[in-house]
Amino acid sequence: MKRKKIDNLEDLLGEPSFREWVSGEREDQQPFWEQWIRETPQNRQLAEQAISILKGIPFEIREVPLEPAMIREEWHKLHAKTSTSSPGEVPGPDSRRLRVHTWGLRIAAGFALLILSGFLLEYFVLNPYVDHHTAFGQQMTIILPDSTLVKLNANSTLSYRKQRPRKVWLDGEAFFQVKKKPETGANFRVLTNDLTVEVLGTAFNVIEKKDKTEVVLEEGSVKLNLNRDFESELLMKPGDLVSFSVQDEQDPILSQVKAEKVTSWKDGVLEFEDVPLTELMDRIQAIYGWQAVYYDESLKERKISLGLPAEDLESALLILSKTMGMKIEKVEGEDKVLLLR
């Protein structure tokens, strides 16, 4: 996820996704902003100031190691004391009540700050994110604390809170074999920029592309909660492929596919059946990081059916070039380019 460079408080407050995250409108932004906050002390300081401004709480930078229970107890004491009088009960000549009320407001503001500081401490330090990341051409198998199996494809990131492993954020592609929890009935959720996948126990594939998210259901059933301004849910059955982009104002596209072909990458093979060469090369770019440039534009629409290694670029290019009867030249500079001719 790319952002403009943030050097000061004004830059941070000007970021729409930051404001949406703080307001709770976009939970999918959490991994990015929490990672950004952890990068430098300056980022943390800017974030604390910005959150305070957006929440309308007076702010002063300080370290306050207070237990949440202690804060709640002191807050209740303060509320009991200050609620017995009101600003309208201030005698003219005697300013003592006014001073008490003014100090009460200051103390209230101070405790609001302590509550915010305690929240930030617990939110970012005591319950941190666990991040798993794969490089281009790399795959990773992850067993979550709830025994859910995740196969993370190349150039992808999976994040979840240490104490809440059944709610994960995905940037890239992953296959999930979700472990059922009949004793608690707890749902498993996968969040992307476009939608949330909610399940009890099933097997499915999620890929977040540059402009959309695609979900393929292999077995079981899932519910999709689309990230739109209005309530929007969609139930899927095995073999369904749903494609949706939050940037478009179009309804999600539902189609039937052979799920095992879409998820074959987890077994080391990229399977393609009667697809345009451009679609295949987009997949190569997502997994290996090499962008295709077509010397002959007519190549783009040529259809192809074959299987390619999911973790061996050289072998994949050799098979592709022989199958298509074309030359593929690797040009490595500022950008990694595959010249097809």
3-state SS, the chain, equals CCCCCCCCHHHHHCCHHHHHHHHCCCHHHHHHHHHHHHHCHHHHHHHHHHHHHHHCCCCCCCCCCCCHHHHHHHHHHHHHHHCCCCCCCCCCCCCHHHHHHHHHHHHHHHHHHHHHHHHHHHHHHHCCEEEEECCCCCCEEEECCCCCEEEECCCCEEEEECCEEEEEEEECEEEEECCCCCCCCCCEEEECCCEEEEECCCEEEEEECCCCEEEEEEECCEEEEECCCCCCEEEECCCEEEEECCCCCCCCEEEECCHHHHCHHHHCEEEEEEEEHHHHHHHHHHHHCCEEEECCHHHHHCEEEEEEECCCHHHHHHHHHHHHCCCEEEEECCCEEEEEC
User: Residue 312 has what pLDDT?
Assistant: 92
User: Residue 78 has what pLDDT?
Assistant: 52
What percentage of residues in the chain have a pLDDT greater than 90? 34
User: Residue 108 has what pLDDT?
Assistant: 55
Distances (CA, A) of 283 to 14, 81, 223, 316: 34, 64, 26, 12
- The confidence band for 67, taking pLDDT boundaries of 50, 70 and 90, is very low
CB 204 within 8 A of CB 217: yes
Please give the Cα distance from 264 to 174 (Å, whole number). 12
Q: Is the pLDDT of residue 230 over 50?
A: yes
Q: Of 55, 58, 53, which is closest to residue 12 (Cα–Cα)?
A: 53
User: Residue 24 has what pLDDT?
Assistant: 76
User: Residue 68 has what pLDDT?
Assistant: 42
User: Residue 194 has what pLDDT?
Assistant: 86
Segment 318-340, tens digit of pLDDT: 999 999 999 999 998 878 999 99
Segment 266-304, tens digit of pLDDT: 989 999 999 999 999 999 999 999 999 998 888 888 999
User: Residue 250 has what pLDDT?
Assistant: 80
Segment 194-216, tens digit of pLDDT: 889 998 778 999 998 878 899 99
**What pTM was estimated for this model as a whole?**
0.63
CB 304 within 8 A of CB 272: yes
Among the listed ranges 149-158, 181-190, 254-263, which one has the minimum average pLDDT value? 181-190
Written as one letter, the residue type at 133 is H
User: How much is the CA Rg of the chain, to the nearest whole Å?
Assistant: 26
User: Residue 142 has what pLDDT?
Assistant: 94
User: Residue 70 has what pLDDT?
Assistant: 43
Q: Of 171, 167, 165, 166, which is closest to residue 152 (Cα–Cα)?
A: 171
Q: Is the pLDDT of residue 112 over 70?
A: no
Residue 259 phi, psi (nearest 5): -60, -35
CB 181 within 8 A of CB 146: yes
Higher pLDDT, 103 or 80: 80
Q: Please state which CATH number belongs to domain 129-259.
A: 2.60.120.1440
Segment 72-102, tens digit of pLDDT: 444 555 555 545 544 444 444 454 444 445 5
Size of the chain, expressed as the number of residues it contains: 341
Question: Any idea where the domains of the chain sit in the sequence?
Answer: 9-126, 129-259, 268-340
Q: Is the pLDDT of residue 171 over 50?
A: yes
Higher pLDDT, 134 or 179: 134
| Angle, alpha carbons 283-201-259 (nearest 5°) | 30
Please give the Cα distance from 122 to 128 (Å, whole number). 9
What tokens does 104 get?
A: 């009460």
268-340, CATH topology level: Phage tail protein beta-alpha-beta fold (3.55.50)
Higher pLDDT, 24 or 94: 24
- The confidence band for 131, taking pLDDT boundaries of 50, 70 and 90, is confident
| Angle, alpha carbons 155-159-162 (nearest 5°) | 150
Higher pLDDT, 324 or 125: 324
Please give the Cα distance from 268 to 13 (Å, whole number). 44
User: Residue 213 has what pLDDT?
Assistant: 92
User: Residue 121 has what pLDDT?
Assistant: 47
